[in-house]
Structure 1
Amino acid sequence: MPEEKAAAAIGQVTDPYRNFNFKLEIRGLIEGHFTGCSGLGARIQPIRYREGGTSQVVRAIPGPVDYAEVTLSYGVTRSNDLWDWFSKGVTGRVERRNVSIILLEPNGVDEALRWNLIDAWPSEWSGAPLDALGREIAVEQVKLVFDSVGRA
Protein backbone atom coordinates (compact mmCIF):
# COMPACT_ATOMS: atom_id res chain seq x y z
CA MET A 1 0.00 0.00 0.00
CA PRO A 2 2.70 2.61 0.78
CA GLU A 3 4.06 2.17 -2.75
CA GLU A 4 0.60 2.92 -4.19
CA LYS A 5 0.31 6.07 -2.09
CA ALA A 6 3.75 7.28 -3.23
CA ALA A 7 2.86 6.51 -6.85
CA ALA A 8 -0.39 8.45 -6.55
CA ALA A 9 1.53 11.52 -5.37
CA ILE A 10 3.66 11.62 -8.51
CA GLY A 11 2.40 14.28 -10.88
CA GLN A 12 0.31 16.07 -8.24
CA VAL A 13 1.06 19.75 -7.81
CA THR A 14 1.86 20.76 -4.24
CA ASP A 15 2.00 24.46 -3.46
CA PRO A 16 4.68 25.61 -1.01
CA TYR A 17 3.66 27.02 2.36
CA ARG A 18 3.33 30.78 2.82
CA ASN A 19 5.91 32.49 5.05
CA PHE A 20 3.33 34.67 6.83
CA ASN A 21 1.33 31.73 8.20
CA PHE A 22 3.26 30.96 11.39
CA LYS A 23 3.03 31.11 15.15
CA LEU A 24 5.41 30.58 18.04
CA GLU A 25 5.02 28.63 21.24
CA ILE A 26 7.31 29.65 24.06
CA ARG A 27 6.90 27.80 27.33
CA GLY A 28 5.57 30.11 29.96
CA LEU A 29 5.01 33.11 27.68
CA ILE A 30 1.61 34.36 26.61
CA GLU A 31 3.22 36.82 24.17
CA GLY A 32 2.32 35.56 20.73
CA HIS A 33 1.99 38.51 18.37
CA PHE A 34 5.17 37.99 16.37
CA THR A 35 5.53 39.80 13.07
CA GLY A 36 8.70 38.05 11.96
CA CYS A 37 10.97 35.13 12.64
CA SER A 38 14.29 34.88 10.79
CA GLY A 39 17.71 33.29 10.97
CA LEU A 40 16.69 29.69 11.59
CA GLY A 41 19.57 27.52 10.45
CA ALA A 42 22.32 25.08 11.31
CA ARG A 43 25.75 24.32 9.91
CA ILE A 44 28.08 21.37 10.32
CA GLN A 45 31.57 22.84 10.19
CA PRO A 46 33.86 20.77 7.98
CA ILE A 47 37.28 19.79 9.28
CA ARG A 48 39.62 19.66 6.30
CA TYR A 49 42.70 17.47 6.07
CA ARG A 50 45.12 16.17 3.48
CA GLU A 51 46.23 12.56 3.47
CA GLY A 52 49.93 11.82 3.51
CA GLY A 53 51.66 10.54 0.39
CA THR A 54 51.22 11.81 -3.13
CA SER A 55 47.51 12.62 -2.83
CA GLN A 56 46.69 16.26 -3.53
CA VAL A 57 43.07 15.78 -2.49
CA VAL A 58 41.84 17.74 0.51
CA ARG A 59 39.17 15.75 2.33
CA ALA A 60 36.62 16.85 4.90
CA ILE A 61 35.04 15.20 7.92
CA PRO A 62 32.13 16.54 9.98
CA GLY A 63 33.11 18.86 12.80
CA PRO A 64 31.13 20.87 15.36
CA VAL A 65 27.55 21.91 14.69
CA ASP A 66 26.70 25.63 14.83
CA TYR A 67 23.14 26.85 15.17
CA ALA A 68 22.26 30.31 13.87
CA GLU A 69 20.59 32.83 16.14
CA VAL A 70 16.86 33.19 15.57
CA THR A 71 15.52 36.74 15.51
CA LEU A 72 11.94 37.29 16.69
CA SER A 73 10.21 40.56 15.80
CA TYR A 74 7.10 41.65 17.64
CA GLY A 75 4.92 44.68 18.11
CA VAL A 76 5.46 46.54 21.36
CA THR A 77 2.62 46.02 23.86
CA ARG A 78 2.21 46.44 27.61
CA SER A 79 3.37 42.84 28.11
CA ASN A 80 6.80 42.56 29.73
CA ASP A 81 7.13 38.78 29.27
CA LEU A 82 9.93 38.84 26.68
CA TRP A 83 11.72 41.74 28.38
CA ASP A 84 11.62 39.93 31.74
CA TRP A 85 12.98 36.74 30.14
CA PHE A 86 15.86 38.72 28.59
CA SER A 87 16.49 40.67 31.84
CA LYS A 88 17.04 37.45 33.79
CA GLY A 89 20.00 36.69 31.53
CA VAL A 90 21.42 40.19 32.04
CA THR A 91 21.54 39.52 35.78
CA GLY A 92 23.23 36.14 35.26
CA ARG A 93 20.13 33.98 35.72
CA VAL A 94 19.69 32.63 32.17
CA GLU A 95 16.39 30.80 31.88
CA ARG A 96 16.32 28.20 29.11
CA ARG A 97 13.01 27.44 27.46
CA ASN A 98 11.88 25.24 24.61
CA VAL A 99 10.52 27.26 21.69
CA SER A 100 8.50 25.95 18.76
CA ILE A 101 8.24 27.77 15.44
CA ILE A 102 5.09 26.43 13.80
CA LEU A 103 4.32 26.76 10.10
CA LEU A 104 0.58 26.63 9.42
CA GLU A 105 -1.47 25.12 6.62
CA PRO A 106 -3.05 27.59 4.14
CA ASN A 107 -6.21 27.70 6.30
CA GLY A 108 -4.12 29.50 8.97
CA VAL A 109 -5.22 27.10 11.71
CA ASP A 110 -3.81 23.61 11.24
CA GLU A 111 -0.15 22.87 11.88
CA ALA A 112 1.87 21.87 8.81
CA LEU A 113 5.26 21.41 10.48
CA ARG A 114 7.34 22.75 13.32
CA TRP A 115 10.89 23.43 14.33
CA ASN A 116 11.67 22.88 18.02
CA LEU A 117 14.47 24.98 19.50
CA ILE A 118 15.75 23.16 22.56
CA ASP A 119 16.97 25.12 25.60
CA ALA A 120 16.65 28.53 23.95
CA TRP A 121 17.39 31.79 25.73
CA PRO A 122 17.45 35.45 24.62
CA SER A 123 20.96 36.72 23.94
CA GLU A 124 20.16 40.12 22.46
CA TRP A 125 17.33 42.66 22.58
CA SER A 126 16.75 45.62 20.22
CA GLY A 127 14.28 48.35 21.04
CA ALA A 128 11.81 49.77 18.55
CA PRO A 129 13.01 52.69 16.44
CA LEU A 130 10.89 55.72 17.26
CA ASP A 131 10.01 58.46 14.77
CA ALA A 132 7.71 61.40 15.52
CA LEU A 133 6.68 61.52 11.84
CA GLY A 134 6.34 57.77 11.37
CA ARG A 135 3.16 55.74 10.98
CA GLU A 136 4.55 52.25 11.47
CA ILE A 137 3.99 49.89 14.36
CA ALA A 138 6.70 49.98 17.03
CA VAL A 139 8.57 46.68 16.63
CA GLU A 140 11.17 45.24 19.01
CA GLN A 141 13.44 42.27 18.36
CA VAL A 142 14.86 39.50 20.51
CA LYS A 143 17.58 37.10 19.36
CA LEU A 144 17.47 33.56 20.66
CA VAL A 145 20.34 31.11 20.90
CA PHE A 146 19.67 27.42 21.49
CA ASP A 147 21.42 24.08 21.99
CA SER A 148 19.75 22.05 19.24
CA VAL A 149 16.92 22.10 16.71
CA GLY A 150 14.51 19.41 15.59
CA ARG A 151 11.88 19.33 12.86
CA ALA A 152 8.56 17.58 13.27
Structure 2
Amino acid sequence: MATDDGSKEGATWPMPKFRFEVDLGTELTGIAFQEVSGMDVENQIIEYRKNNSTLFSTEKMPGIVKYGNITMKRGIFPNDNTFWNWYSEISMNTIKRRTILIKLLDENGDVTMQWQLNNAWPTKITSTDLKSDASEVAVDTLEIAHEQLIITKGIKI
Protein backbone atom coordinates (compact mmCIF):
# COMPACT_ATOMS: atom_id res chain seq x y z
CA MET A 1 0.00 0.00 0.00
CA ALA A 2 1.36 3.42 -0.96
CA THR A 3 1.33 6.48 1.30
CA ASP A 4 0.45 10.07 0.31
CA ASP A 5 4.05 10.84 -0.69
CA GLY A 6 4.23 7.79 -3.02
CA SER A 7 6.48 5.65 -0.83
CA LYS A 8 5.48 2.14 0.17
CA GLU A 9 4.12 1.79 3.66
CA GLY A 10 6.21 -0.56 5.81
CA ALA A 11 8.72 -1.19 3.02
CA THR A 12 11.81 -2.98 4.26
CA TRP A 13 14.97 -3.88 2.44
CA PRO A 14 17.58 -6.54 3.18
CA MET A 15 20.67 -5.27 4.98
CA PRO A 16 23.85 -4.81 2.96
CA LYS A 17 26.67 -6.95 4.32
CA PHE A 18 29.67 -4.71 3.70
CA ARG A 19 29.58 -2.62 6.90
CA PHE A 20 30.47 -4.63 9.99
CA GLU A 21 32.90 -4.74 12.89
CA VAL A 22 34.16 -7.37 15.31
CA ASP A 23 34.81 -7.22 19.06
CA LEU A 24 37.34 -9.89 20.02
CA GLY A 25 36.68 -9.44 23.74
CA THR A 26 38.74 -7.56 26.34
CA GLU A 27 40.22 -4.35 24.90
CA LEU A 28 39.89 -5.51 21.29
CA THR A 29 36.69 -3.75 20.18
CA GLY A 30 35.53 -2.31 16.88
CA ILE A 31 38.11 -4.13 14.76
CA ALA A 32 37.59 -3.86 11.01
CA PHE A 33 37.91 -7.04 8.99
CA GLN A 34 37.90 -7.61 5.26
CA GLU A 35 35.77 -10.74 5.53
CA VAL A 36 34.01 -12.90 8.13
CA SER A 37 32.62 -16.28 7.08
CA GLY A 38 31.52 -19.62 8.50
CA MET A 39 28.75 -18.49 10.83
CA ASP A 40 26.79 -21.71 10.57
CA VAL A 41 25.00 -24.01 12.95
CA GLU A 42 23.79 -27.54 12.30
CA ASN A 43 21.76 -30.09 14.22
CA GLN A 44 23.08 -33.59 13.74
CA ILE A 45 20.36 -36.08 12.91
CA ILE A 46 19.56 -39.09 15.06
CA GLU A 47 17.80 -41.84 13.15
CA TYR A 48 15.70 -44.21 15.21
CA ARG A 49 13.17 -46.88 14.38
CA LYS A 50 10.56 -47.81 16.94
CA ASN A 51 9.96 -51.53 17.23
CA ASN A 52 6.18 -51.10 16.91
CA SER A 53 6.33 -48.71 13.92
CA THR A 54 4.08 -49.69 11.02
CA LEU A 55 6.36 -47.88 8.58
CA PHE A 56 9.47 -49.61 7.35
CA SER A 57 11.62 -46.49 7.90
CA THR A 58 13.33 -44.54 10.63
CA GLU A 59 12.25 -41.43 12.49
CA LYS A 60 14.60 -38.48 12.30
CA MET A 61 15.15 -36.50 15.47
CA PRO A 62 17.39 -33.53 16.27
CA GLY A 63 20.64 -34.43 17.99
CA ILE A 64 23.77 -32.61 19.08
CA VAL A 65 24.28 -29.08 17.78
CA LYS A 66 27.46 -28.52 15.77
CA TYR A 67 29.02 -25.09 15.09
CA GLY A 68 31.39 -24.42 12.22
CA ASN A 69 34.64 -22.53 12.69
CA ILE A 70 34.58 -18.82 11.91
CA THR A 71 37.14 -17.50 9.43
CA MET A 72 38.16 -13.84 9.63
CA LYS A 73 40.43 -12.00 7.20
CA ARG A 74 42.14 -8.74 8.04
CA GLY A 75 44.85 -6.54 6.56
CA ILE A 76 48.24 -6.60 8.25
CA PHE A 77 49.29 -3.38 10.00
CA PRO A 78 52.77 -2.44 11.24
CA ASN A 79 53.45 -3.45 14.87
CA ASP A 80 50.02 -5.10 15.25
CA ASN A 81 50.39 -8.68 16.48
CA THR A 82 46.89 -9.00 17.95
CA PHE A 83 46.13 -12.40 16.37
CA TRP A 84 49.56 -13.83 17.09
CA ASN A 85 49.52 -12.69 20.72
CA TRP A 86 46.15 -14.37 21.32
CA TYR A 87 47.29 -17.51 19.52
CA SER A 88 50.49 -17.64 21.61
CA GLU A 89 48.36 -17.97 24.78
CA ILE A 90 47.48 -21.53 23.75
CA SER A 91 49.27 -24.27 25.64
CA MET A 92 48.38 -27.94 26.05
CA ASN A 93 44.64 -28.08 26.80
CA THR A 94 44.46 -24.50 28.09
CA ILE A 95 43.43 -21.31 26.32
CA LYS A 96 41.85 -18.07 27.39
CA ARG A 97 38.40 -18.29 25.82
CA ARG A 98 36.55 -15.13 24.87
CA THR A 99 33.13 -13.90 23.89
CA ILE A 100 33.30 -12.45 20.38
CA LEU A 101 30.68 -10.11 18.92
CA ILE A 102 30.23 -9.74 15.16
CA LYS A 103 28.12 -6.66 14.45
CA LEU A 104 26.33 -5.77 11.23
CA LEU A 105 25.97 -1.99 11.04
CA ASP A 106 23.49 0.27 9.24
CA GLU A 107 24.29 3.49 7.38
CA ASN A 108 24.47 5.42 10.69
CA GLY A 109 26.88 2.94 12.29
CA ASP A 110 24.20 1.49 14.57
CA VAL A 111 24.13 -2.25 15.24
CA THR A 112 21.23 -3.93 13.41
CA MET A 113 22.27 -7.56 13.80
CA GLN A 114 24.75 -9.10 16.22
CA TRP A 115 26.18 -12.60 16.40
CA GLN A 116 27.70 -13.66 19.72
CA LEU A 117 30.29 -16.45 19.76
CA ASN A 118 30.71 -17.97 23.21
CA ASN A 119 33.91 -19.64 24.46
CA ALA A 120 35.82 -18.72 21.30
CA TRP A 121 39.52 -19.31 20.75
CA PRO A 122 41.89 -19.25 17.75
CA THR A 123 42.64 -22.60 16.14
CA LYS A 124 44.66 -21.47 13.15
CA ILE A 125 46.38 -18.39 11.75
CA THR A 126 47.42 -18.17 8.12
CA SER A 127 49.72 -15.30 7.30
CA THR A 128 49.78 -13.60 3.93
CA ASP A 129 51.54 -14.97 0.90
CA LEU A 130 54.33 -12.81 -0.48
CA LYS A 131 54.78 -12.00 -4.18
CA SER A 132 57.30 -9.59 -5.62
CA ASP A 133 55.12 -8.83 -8.67
CA ALA A 134 51.80 -8.25 -6.82
CA SER A 135 50.22 -5.01 -5.67
CA GLU A 136 47.73 -6.57 -3.24
CA VAL A 137 47.20 -5.86 0.45
CA ALA A 138 48.84 -8.25 2.92
CA VAL A 139 46.10 -10.21 4.73
CA ASP A 140 46.16 -12.50 7.79
CA THR A 141 43.48 -15.16 8.18
CA LEU A 142 42.29 -16.21 11.63
CA GLU A 143 40.19 -19.33 12.20
CA ILE A 144 38.19 -19.39 15.43
CA ALA A 145 36.46 -22.32 17.14
CA HIS A 146 33.51 -21.64 19.44
CA GLU A 147 30.88 -23.52 21.41
CA GLN A 148 27.77 -21.46 20.79
CA LEU A 149 26.44 -18.92 18.28
CA ILE A 150 23.62 -16.65 19.45
CA ILE A 151 21.93 -13.83 17.57
CA THR A 152 21.57 -11.15 20.26
CA LYS A 153 20.09 -8.30 18.17
CA GLY A 154 17.67 -8.17 15.33
CA ILE A 155 15.27 -10.85 16.57
CA LYS A 156 11.70 -9.81 17.24
CA ILE A 157 9.80 -12.24 19.44
TM > 0.5: yes
Specify the alignment match of 2:4 in structure 1: none
Specify the alignment match of 1:98 in structure 2: 99
Residue aligned with 1:88, SS = coil
Instruction: Give the TM-score normalised by structure 1.
Output: 0.86
Displacement of 1:11 after TM fit?
Answer: 5.9
- What amino acid does structure 2 have at the position aligned with 1:128? T
Percent sequence identity over aligned pairs: 27
Specify the alignment match of 1:61 in structure 2: 61
For 1:95 and 1:20, how far apart are their aligned partners in 2?
Answer: 30
Instruction: Give the TM-score normalised by structure 2.
Output: 0.83
User: Of residues 15, 20, 27 in structure 2, which corresponds to 1:17?
Assistant: 15
Contact 1:104 1:113 in 2 (8 A): yes
Residue aligned with 1:83, SS = helix
Displacement of 1:145 after TM fit?
Answer: 0.6
Please list every run of 5 or more consecutive structure 2 residues that lacks an aligned counterpart in the other structure.
1-7, 153-157
Specify the alignment match of 1:121 in structure 2: 121
For 1:29 and 1:136, how far apart are their aligned partners in 2?
Answer: 29
- What amino acid does structure 1 have at the position aligned with 2:98? R
Q: Deviations over 1:68-114 (max 9, x none)?
A: 1000100011211111101222x33411010000011133x111010
Contact 2:99 2:119 in 1 (8 A): yes
For 1:141 and 1:117, how far apart are their aligned partners in 2?
Answer: 18
Contact 2:67 2:148 in 1 (8 A): yes
Residue aligned with 1:34, SS = coil
Q: Relative to total residues, which structure has the larger helix share, 1 or 2?
A: 1
- What amino acid does structure 2 have at the position aligned with 1:44? N
Runs (4+) off by over 3 Å: none
For 1:19 and 1:124, how far apart are their aligned partners in 2?
Answer: 25
For 1:64 and 1:81, how far apart are their aligned partners in 2?
Answer: 33
For 2:32 and 2:85, how far apart are their aligned partners in 1?
Answer: 17
Contact 1:121 1:144 in 2 (8 A): yes
Query: How many residues were matched structurally?
Result: 141
Residues 15 and 55 of structure 1: is their aligned pair in 2 closer, same or farther, counting only changes over 3 Å? same
Out of 45-54 and 111-120, give the one that drifted further. Answer: 45-54
